[in-house]
Protein backbone atom coordinates (compact mmCIF):
# COMPACT_ATOMS: atom_id res chain seq x y z
CA UNK A 1 0.00 0.00 0.00
CA UNK A 2 2.84 2.36 0.85
CA UNK A 3 4.44 1.63 -2.54
CA UNK A 4 1.15 2.44 -4.27
CA UNK A 5 0.82 5.69 -2.32
CA UNK A 6 4.35 6.76 -3.26
CA UNK A 7 3.70 5.84 -6.90
CA UNK A 8 0.52 7.89 -6.94
CA UNK A 9 2.37 10.91 -5.55
CA UNK A 10 4.99 10.55 -8.28
CA UNK A 11 2.28 10.40 -10.94
CA UNK A 12 0.62 13.52 -9.53
CA UNK A 13 3.95 15.37 -9.45
CA UNK A 14 4.71 14.36 -13.03
CA UNK A 15 1.29 15.52 -14.19
CA UNK A 16 1.83 18.82 -12.40
CA UNK A 17 5.17 19.30 -14.14
CA UNK A 18 3.62 18.50 -17.52
CA UNK A 19 0.75 20.95 -16.95
CA UNK A 20 3.19 23.64 -15.82
CA UNK A 21 5.27 23.02 -18.91
CA UNK A 22 2.22 23.35 -21.17
CA UNK A 23 1.14 26.53 -19.38
CA UNK A 24 4.64 27.98 -19.77
CA UNK A 25 4.62 27.17 -23.49
CA UNK A 26 1.24 28.90 -23.88
CA UNK A 27 2.35 32.02 -22.05
CA UNK A 28 5.96 32.26 -23.23
CA UNK A 29 7.12 35.25 -25.25
CA UNK A 30 9.55 33.81 -27.80
CA UNK A 31 11.59 35.33 -30.60
CA UNK A 32 10.99 32.66 -33.25
CA UNK A 33 13.04 34.47 -35.90
CA UNK A 34 15.56 37.31 -35.77
CA UNK A 35 17.67 38.92 -38.49
CA UNK A 36 20.26 41.65 -38.06
CA UNK A 37 20.50 43.67 -34.86
CA UNK A 38 17.62 42.67 -32.56
CA UNK A 39 17.98 43.79 -28.94
CA UNK A 40 16.20 43.31 -25.64
CA UNK A 41 15.87 46.70 -24.00
CA UNK A 42 17.67 47.00 -20.68
CA UNK A 43 16.09 48.39 -17.53
CA UNK A 44 17.13 51.78 -16.20
CA UNK A 45 20.90 52.06 -16.09
CA UNK A 46 21.49 48.80 -17.94
CA UNK A 47 22.58 48.22 -21.52
CA UNK A 48 20.50 46.54 -24.19
CA UNK A 49 21.32 42.89 -24.82
CA UNK A 50 21.19 41.03 -28.16
CA UNK A 51 18.59 38.32 -28.75
CA UNK A 52 18.64 35.49 -31.26
CA UNK A 53 16.07 33.17 -32.80
CA UNK A 54 14.46 30.82 -30.24
CA UNK A 55 15.16 33.24 -27.37
CA UNK A 56 12.59 33.23 -24.56
CA UNK A 57 11.94 36.77 -23.31
CA UNK A 58 10.50 38.03 -20.01
CA UNK A 59 6.72 38.47 -20.18
CA UNK A 60 7.32 42.19 -19.83
CA UNK A 61 10.01 43.40 -22.18
CA UNK A 62 11.09 45.87 -24.86
CA UNK A 63 12.26 44.66 -28.28
CA UNK A 64 14.36 47.00 -30.43
CA UNK A 65 15.47 46.44 -34.02
CA UNK A 66 18.23 48.27 -35.87
CA UNK A 67 18.67 49.12 -39.56
CA UNK A 68 18.15 46.19 -41.94
CA UNK A 69 16.82 44.12 -39.05
CA UNK A 70 13.55 42.35 -38.35
CA UNK A 71 12.05 39.76 -36.03
CA UNK A 72 9.02 37.55 -35.48
CA UNK A 73 7.84 37.24 -31.88
CA UNK A 74 5.31 34.71 -30.62
CA UNK A 75 3.37 36.28 -27.78
CA UNK A 76 2.18 33.17 -25.99
CA UNK A 77 -1.25 32.04 -27.17
CA UNK A 78 -2.20 35.59 -28.28
CA UNK A 79 -0.52 35.35 -31.68
CA UNK A 80 2.49 36.85 -33.42
CA UNK A 81 3.99 40.24 -34.12
CA UNK A 82 6.42 40.93 -36.96
CA UNK A 83 8.79 43.80 -36.16
CA UNK A 84 10.34 45.79 -38.99
CA UNK A 85 13.61 47.68 -39.06
CA UNK A 86 14.29 50.65 -36.74
CA UNK A 87 11.34 49.76 -34.52
CA UNK A 88 10.69 49.58 -30.81
CA UNK A 89 7.81 47.90 -28.99
CA UNK A 90 7.08 47.17 -25.35
CA UNK A 91 5.38 43.81 -24.81
CA UNK A 92 3.46 43.32 -21.58
CA UNK A 93 1.92 39.90 -21.04
CA UNK A 94 1.72 39.97 -17.26
CA UNK A 95 -1.50 38.81 -15.62
CA UNK A 96 -2.87 42.34 -15.14
CA UNK A 97 -1.99 43.33 -18.71
CA UNK A 98 -2.88 40.34 -20.86
CA UNK A 99 -1.79 41.17 -24.38
CA UNK A 100 -0.70 44.81 -24.21
CA UNK A 101 1.69 46.33 -26.75
CA UNK A 102 3.08 49.86 -26.65
CA UNK A 103 4.55 50.69 -30.03
CA UNK A 104 7.10 53.44 -29.54
CA UNK A 105 8.27 53.77 -33.13
CA UNK A 106 8.68 51.95 -36.43
CA UNK A 107 6.56 49.47 -38.36
CA UNK A 108 4.97 46.37 -36.82
CA UNK A 109 2.56 43.78 -38.24
CA UNK A 110 0.14 42.26 -35.71
CA UNK A 111 -1.52 38.86 -36.29
CA UNK A 112 -3.66 37.97 -33.29
CA UNK A 113 -5.76 34.90 -32.52
CA UNK A 114 -9.50 35.30 -32.03
CA UNK A 115 -10.43 36.17 -28.45
CA UNK A 116 -13.60 34.93 -26.77
CA UNK A 117 -16.20 37.43 -25.60
CA UNK A 118 -15.38 36.87 -21.91
CA UNK A 119 -11.63 37.37 -22.43
CA UNK A 120 -9.77 40.65 -22.10
CA UNK A 121 -9.20 42.25 -25.52
CA UNK A 122 -5.66 42.81 -26.74
CA UNK A 123 -4.54 46.43 -27.02
CA UNK A 124 -1.93 48.21 -29.08
CA UNK A 125 -1.05 51.70 -27.88
CA UNK A 126 0.69 54.40 -29.88
CA UNK A 127 1.10 58.13 -29.30
CA UNK A 128 -1.97 58.71 -31.51
CA UNK A 129 -4.42 56.00 -30.47
CA UNK A 130 -5.31 52.88 -28.52
CA UNK A 131 -6.27 49.99 -30.79
CA UNK A 132 -8.52 47.27 -29.35
CA UNK A 133 -8.59 43.92 -31.16
CA UNK A 134 -10.19 40.48 -30.81
CA UNK A 135 -8.49 38.57 -33.61
CA UNK A 136 -7.23 40.26 -36.75
CA UNK A 137 -4.20 41.23 -38.85
CA UNK A 138 -3.03 44.79 -39.32
CA UNK A 139 0.04 46.97 -39.77
CA UNK A 140 0.88 49.94 -37.55
CA UNK A 141 3.36 52.51 -38.84
CA UNK A 142 4.65 55.26 -36.57
CA UNK A 143 7.57 57.17 -38.04
CA UNK A 144 8.40 60.64 -39.34
CA UNK A 145 5.94 61.61 -42.05
CA UNK A 146 3.91 58.42 -41.80
CA UNK A 147 1.50 57.56 -39.00
CA UNK A 148 -1.15 55.01 -39.92
CA UNK A 149 -3.05 51.79 -39.29
CA UNK A 150 -3.52 49.46 -42.26
CA UNK A 151 -6.04 46.60 -41.99
CA UNK A 152 -5.55 43.26 -43.71
CA UNK A 153 -8.56 41.50 -42.18
CA UNK A 154 -10.88 41.69 -39.21
CA UNK A 155 -11.97 44.79 -37.33
CA UNK A 156 -10.30 47.04 -34.78
CA UNK A 157 -11.66 49.71 -32.48
CA UNK A 158 -9.54 52.88 -32.48
CA UNK A 159 -9.79 55.18 -29.45
CA UNK A 160 -8.28 58.62 -28.96
CA UNK A 161 -6.11 58.97 -25.83
CA UNK A 162 -7.63 62.44 -25.36
CA UNK A 163 -10.28 64.47 -27.17
CA UNK A 164 -12.05 63.62 -30.39
CA UNK A 165 -10.71 62.62 -33.79
CA UNK A 166 -11.66 64.66 -36.85
CA UNK A 167 -12.44 61.83 -39.27
CA UNK A 168 -12.43 62.52 -43.02
CA UNK A 169 -13.96 60.04 -45.43
CA UNK A 170 -14.65 60.59 -49.12
CA UNK A 171 -17.19 57.84 -49.78
CA UNK A 172 -17.57 58.45 -53.50
CA UNK A 173 -13.81 58.39 -54.04
CA UNK A 174 -13.57 55.24 -51.93
CA UNK A 175 -16.07 53.54 -54.23
CA UNK A 176 -14.07 54.55 -57.25
CA UNK A 177 -10.86 53.19 -55.70
CA UNK A 178 -12.63 49.89 -55.00
CA UNK A 179 -13.90 49.88 -58.56
CA UNK A 180 -10.35 50.19 -59.86
CA UNK A 181 -9.06 47.48 -57.55
CA UNK A 182 -11.61 45.06 -58.95
CA UNK A 183 -10.06 45.53 -62.38
CA UNK A 184 -13.20 46.98 -63.95
CA UNK A 185 -11.45 50.01 -65.43
CA UNK A 186 -8.90 49.60 -68.20
CA UNK A 187 -5.44 50.98 -67.38
CA UNK A 188 -5.42 53.52 -70.21
CA UNK A 189 -8.77 54.95 -69.09
CA UNK A 190 -8.15 55.19 -65.34
CA UNK A 191 -6.64 58.64 -65.22
CA UNK A 192 -9.22 60.31 -67.47
CA UNK A 193 -12.19 58.69 -65.76
CA UNK A 194 -10.83 59.50 -62.33
CA UNK A 195 -10.41 63.20 -63.21
CA UNK A 196 -13.97 63.32 -64.56
CA UNK A 197 -15.30 61.48 -61.54
CA UNK A 198 -13.42 63.69 -59.08
CA UNK A 199 -14.70 66.86 -60.75
CA UNK A 200 -18.29 65.72 -60.15
CA UNK A 201 -17.85 64.34 -56.61
CA UNK A 202 -16.05 66.69 -54.30
CA UNK A 203 -18.18 66.21 -51.18
CA UNK A 204 -16.31 64.99 -48.14
CA UNK A 205 -17.87 63.35 -45.12
CA UNK A 206 -16.44 64.62 -41.81
CA UNK A 207 -17.39 63.54 -38.31
CA UNK A 208 -15.99 64.04 -34.82
CA UNK A 209 -15.64 60.97 -32.61
CA UNK A 210 -13.59 59.77 -29.67
CA UNK A 211 -13.45 56.31 -31.25
CA UNK A 212 -14.19 54.59 -34.54
CA UNK A 213 -14.05 51.15 -36.18
CA UNK A 214 -11.71 50.21 -38.99
CA UNK A 215 -12.37 47.15 -41.15
CA UNK A 216 -10.61 44.93 -43.66
CA UNK A 217 -8.72 46.50 -46.58
CA UNK A 218 -9.02 49.98 -45.07
CA UNK A 219 -6.48 52.27 -43.49
CA UNK A 220 -6.45 55.30 -41.21
CA UNK A 221 -3.78 57.98 -41.57
CA UNK A 222 -3.19 60.29 -38.60
CA UNK A 223 -2.05 63.91 -38.57
CA UNK A 224 -2.57 64.99 -35.00
CA UNK A 225 -6.33 64.64 -34.41
CA UNK A 226 -7.08 64.66 -38.12
CA UNK A 227 -7.76 61.14 -39.43
CA UNK A 228 -8.29 60.10 -43.04
CA UNK A 229 -10.19 56.82 -43.45
CA UNK A 230 -9.56 55.36 -46.92
CA UNK A 231 -8.77 52.17 -48.88
CA UNK A 232 -5.31 50.63 -48.43
CA UNK A 233 -2.63 52.48 -50.36
CA UNK A 234 -0.25 50.69 -52.71
CA UNK A 235 2.63 51.51 -50.33
CA UNK A 236 0.87 49.93 -47.34
CA UNK A 237 -0.18 46.90 -49.41
CA UNK A 238 3.45 46.40 -50.44
CA UNK A 239 4.69 46.67 -46.85
CA UNK A 240 2.09 44.19 -45.64
CA UNK A 241 3.06 41.73 -48.35
CA UNK A 242 6.71 41.95 -47.32
CA UNK A 243 5.91 41.24 -43.66
CA UNK A 244 3.57 38.38 -44.54
CA UNK A 245 6.10 36.78 -46.86
CA UNK A 246 8.85 36.91 -44.23
CA UNK A 247 6.66 35.48 -41.43
CA UNK A 248 4.49 33.11 -43.48
CA UNK A 249 5.76 30.02 -41.65
CA UNK A 250 4.29 31.31 -38.39
CA UNK A 251 1.37 33.45 -39.56
CA UNK A 252 -0.34 30.44 -41.10
CA UNK A 253 -0.84 29.13 -37.55
CA UNK A 254 -2.84 32.18 -36.44
CA UNK A 255 -6.51 31.48 -35.72
CA UNK A 256 -8.17 34.74 -36.68
d(CA 138, CA 149): 7
pLDDT beyond 70 at 143 = yes
What's the CATH architecture for 28-164+210-251?
Sandwich (2.60)
More confident residue, 174 or 60: 60
- DSSP 8-state symbol, 66: -
Domain extents in the chain: 28-164+210-251, 165-208
pLDDT beyond 90 at 115 = no
Taking the model in full, what pTM does it have? 0.79
Q: In which band, very low, low, confident or very high, does the pLDDT at 185 lie, cut at 50, 70 and 90?
A: low
Q: In which band, very low, low, confident or very high, does the pLDDT at 94 lie, cut at 50, 70 and 90?
A: confident
Contact 75, 29 (CB under 8 A): yes
φ, ψ at 89 (rounded to 5°): -140, 140
DSSP assignment of 98-165, as one string?
Answer: TTEEEEEEEEEEEEE----TTSPPEEEE-SS-EEEESS-EEEEEEETTEEEEEEEESEEEEE-SSS-E
pLDDT in tens, 213-255: 999 999 999 999 999 999 999 999 999 999 999 999 999 999 8
Contact 31, 71 (CB under 8 A): yes
Amino acid sequence: MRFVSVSMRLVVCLMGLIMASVSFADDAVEVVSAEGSVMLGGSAGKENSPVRSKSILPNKNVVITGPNSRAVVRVGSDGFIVIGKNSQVEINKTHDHVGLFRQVTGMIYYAMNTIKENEHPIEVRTASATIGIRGTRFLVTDMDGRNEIGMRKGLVNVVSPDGEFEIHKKTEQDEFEAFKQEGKVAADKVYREFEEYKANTQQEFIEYKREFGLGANRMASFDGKRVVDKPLSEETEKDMGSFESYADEWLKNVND
